[in-house]
Amino acid sequence: MMMETIQQAADLLRSRLPETPTVGIVLGSGLGGLADRIEAPVYVPYSEIPGFAVSTAPGHAGRFVAGQLAGKQVLCMQGRLHYYEGHSMQDIVFPIRVMKALGVETLILTNAAGGVNTSFSVGDLMLLEDHINFMGANPLTGPNDEAVGPRFCDMTFAYTPALRELALQVAEKQGVALQKGVYLGYMGPSYETPAEIRAFRTLGADAVGMSTVPEVIAASHCGLKVLAMSLITNMAAGIEKKKLSGDEVIEIANQRAQVLQNLVSGIIAEL
């Protein structure tokens, strides 16, 4: 049944897109500008796709943008779904499964995150090497459709090692300092407390955010290669002794978005 709904959505996209995309991109808060670089863009609002929920988060356009980027056919999610919006885990990862059914092979995820590692600075980029799922839910719970992926999904190499190596090479070539670390996925929408951040640091987290983890689990489940990067838009609660604000996140994302866009474009060119 799950595969049937996925195929319906993939069929609609196939009918709208001039070419089959091989790279899927998910753009986080304030990072939607990368979609403006896509050549000969085709726009498909999520609301027109069977089985799709619609994103309500600030700074998320809620549509697919397809076309050419750095010489590759890409399908870009301009805005993602979050657990805190009240969406089910299945709804959140549905677009990832549709991308796979459409022919996407590589998934690149970006997000805005809070810095937990005290050696990080606001504006840093972090390459995700691993994650901790602190959302209290998993998109693979419930009945499993073997046509989508296995019942028990191995997460050892969820963040594809070869893609991480490529990202580091491109960053070095571009003169971009790319931190590496573990991302902790937190449900939200309230920001974490200073005590939670201290606990997360003890657990080995370098950054914290409210997205990405469900998408990576689903991508790993259906056999996509995955690369993920965080833009550190604020230091997490308690580190700088000041209140956290969503507006600040968007502002920093806007300031540093260009660097992340150049990096993602450079990586796609080398795929």
**196-251 pLDDT per residue, tens:** 999 999 999 999 999 999 999 999 999 999 999 999 988 887 887 778 777 777 77
Domains of the chain: total = 1
Judged against a pLDDT cut of 70, whether residue 1 lies above it is answered with no
pTM of the model: 0.94
Beta bridge partners of 106: 23, 225
| Range of the structural domain that residue 208 is part of | 2-270
Identify the pLDDT of residue 129: 98
**Mean pLDDT (whole number) for 120-134:** 96
- 80 within 8 A of 185, measured Cβ to Cβ: no
Directed axis angle between helix 213-222 and helix 89-102, to 10°?
40
**Residue 13 is encoded by which pair of tokens?**
């996209």
Burial of residue 248 (CB within 10 Å: 0-12, 13-18, 19+) is: middle
Nearest residue to 83 via CA among 220, 224, 234, 209: 209
Rounded to 5 degrees, φ, ψ at 202 are -60, -35
Q: Identify the pLDDT of residue 166.
A: 98
The confidence score (pLDDT) of residue 240 equals: 79
Q: So what's the pLDDT on residue 13?
A: 96
Predicted pLDDT of residue 141? 97
pLDDT classification of 120: cutoffs 50, 70, 90 = very high
**pLDDT for position 48:** 94
The CA distance from 63 to 147, in Å, is: 26
Residue pLDDT, tens place only, 23-71: 999 988 767 788 899 999 999 999 999 999 877 666 667 899 999 999 9
pLDDT tens, 69-109?
Answer: 999 999 999 888 899 999 999 999 999 999 999 999 999 99
C-alpha span between 43 and 258 (Å, rounded): 22
Neighbours of 192 (CB within 10 A): 22
CATH value at residue 129? 3.40.50.1580
Handedness of CA 231, 237, 242, 245 (dihedral sign): positive
pLDDT range class, residue 263, cuts 50, 70, 90: very high
**Residue found by looking up tokens 């499993």 in the block:** 144
- pLDDT given at position 33: 84
Six token digits for residue 101: 């059914």
pLDDT tens sequence across 129-163: 999 999 999 999 999 999 999 999 999 999 999 99
Mean pLDDT for all residues in the chain: 93
User: Looking at residue 57, what is its pLDDT?
Assistant: 66
Q: Which of the four pLDDT bands, split at 50, 70 and 90, describes residue 176?
A: very high
DSSP 119: T
Q: What number is the average pLDDT over the span 253-268?
A: 90
